[in-house]
Amino acid sequence: MKKPVLVVLALTLGMALAQSVSLNGAGATFPYPLYAKYFDAYQKLTGVRVNYQSIGSGGGIRQLFAQTVHFGASDAPLSDEKIAEFEQKFGTQVIHVPTALGAVVPSYNLPGVTQPLNFSGPVLADIFLGKIKKWNDPALAELNPGVKLPALPITVVHRSDGSGTTYIWTEYLAKVSPEWKAKVGVGKSVSWPTGLGGKGNEGVAGLVRQVPGAIGYNELIYALQNKIAYGAVQNRAGKFVLADLASVRAAAELKDFPADTRVSITDTPAPEGYPIASFTWILVYRDLDKDKAVKSRAEAEALARLLDWVIHDGQRYNEALHYAALPEVAVKVSEANLAGLRYHNEPLNQK
């Protein structure tokens, strides 16, 4: 009677011990569909299991500071103050590893309107400030000649959790609208003048889908995968641009790339560039032994190898999921950064 129980126990224990390295990460929902694909492929390739939970960029940064994860993920780079706090607290640097480029699109639910609408930065700011209340507002009609806009009230949908997508969105709106900058500002979570909150990119997409007349903001893939309509946005050159790989890539063509990779590409001057695009980052400790979640040299090495794979071979998964691959210059800078990863002051073997 007791024997089968023991056998099962031994088996379970054996399986637990035989398991190869597993890494844990948490953060941004913006690249979640891509990361899920990366880590699914990486597990099949190497057997290393990377568990990623999309709890929002704010949560990802918090867990990185709490040392409960091997890596955090965020679409907003750490601010200078946060970096200073990190360095002072942990005695090491934080490394930003860009993994992909994405676009944040104004997603909306307007029954009866089939062609993509045109938006401009100031109009989007006014909508999210609650100043434009109806879909047939003259400001919107002027941008969309020939489109029959319904007299539906606009329901603004925004994120309820700390979000890098929110950071990108508000950073862009602050660049194009002085009123937005003064009243709401830039951040991973801001005090919204109006609207409903959804948790994660998933939550916002879900709400927009359910509420006729709703407008929200989503990473492009969430709009595409869920067949939610999204609009074109007027860039600095005056052109209405729909978010796609080409327009995001155009926005990311930078001459000089900062060594810490913290760069904003919203409101791009590129004539063909989409104005609300951004890099998304994985954040790790440079001295991996300082992160309590990293329990052994083997784990540190697995993490270094994973990141190396993501910025090289992993990039080929980006474009199928509508995230632009990293530009060459970003890969070069990241290689140098990753070469600096250490464990107890010894460099890590990355290959």
By the criterion CB under 8 A, which residues form the site for another protein?
Answer: 12, 15-16, 19, 22, 24, 26, 32-33, 36-37, 39-40, 43, 49, 51-53, 66-69, 198-200, 202-203, 205-206, 209, 221-222, 225-226, 228, 291-293, 295
Whole-number minimum distance, CB 51 to another protein, in Å?
5
Count how many residues are written for the chain.
351
d(CA 170, CA 313): 32
Task: Tell me the torsion sign for CA atoms 18, 23, 24, 28.
Answer: negative
Whole-number minimum distance, CB 194 to another protein, in Å?
22
Q: Which residues are paired to 278 by β-bridges? A: 102
Between 243 and 265, name the residue whose CB sits nearer to another protein: 243
Between 92 and 225, name the residue whose CB sits nearer to another protein: 225
Whole-number minimum distance, CB 33 to another protein, in Å?
5
Whole-number minimum distance, CB 20 to another protein, in Å?
11
For 283, other C-beta atoms within 10 Å of its C-beta total 23
Q: Could you give the angle at the alpha carbon of 199 between the alpha carbons of 34 and 227, nearest 5°?
A: 55
- Closest listed residue to residue 214, CA positions, set 327, 111, 129: 111
CA dihedral 74, 75, 79, 80 (to 10 degrees): 90
Between 45 and 339, name the residue whose CB sits nearer to another protein: 45
Distance of alpha carbon 227 from the chain centroid: 20
Q: How far is CA 198 from CA 116, 141, 195, in A?
A: 23, 28, 10
Q: Is 38 left (phi over 0), alpha (psi -120 to 50) or beta?
A: alpha
Whole-number minimum distance, CB 122 to another protein, in Å?
29
Name the token pair of 28: 């941004």
Q: What is the 8-class DSSP label of residue 124? A: H
Whole-number minimum distance, CB 135 to another protein, in Å?
22
Whole-number minimum distance, CB 12 to another protein, in Å?
5
Q: Could you give the angle at the alpha carbon of 88 between the alpha carbons of 77 and 90, nearest 5°?
A: 85
